Amino acid sequence: TVTEVYASREAQDPAFGGREIAQAIQHPQVEFVAQLEGAAEHILQRVQAGTVLLTLSAGDGNLVGRLVLQGLKPNEEGASHVH
């Protein structure tokens, strides 16, 4: 899952973003999801026991990992997202 790219100190380049990165990877399981919260949900729908999740970010991308961990915790009925 690739999210949007945000400029830090430089001007945003409209020709370069997360969608372009995802397309350049050319892998059938790579998908672009613009928002971090959406990326976490996207991952939770696909995560399986033994999955390794690596988040790379110079900003708020670590939120994805935190949201995924929160989503993996069993709910009141004892169910979790892990298949």
Q: Of 4-8, 34-38, 40-44, 76-80, which range is least confident?
A: 76-80
**Which whole-number Å values give the CA distances from 78 to 12, 38, 45, 71, 75, in the listed order?**
44, 23, 17, 12, 5
Q: Of 7-11, 56-60, 68-72, which range is least confident?
A: 7-11
0.75 surpassed by pTM:
yes
Q: How big is the chain, counted in residues?
A: 83
Query: Each residue of 15-55: pLDDT tens digit?
Result: 889 999 999 999 999 999 999 999 999 999 999 889 899 98
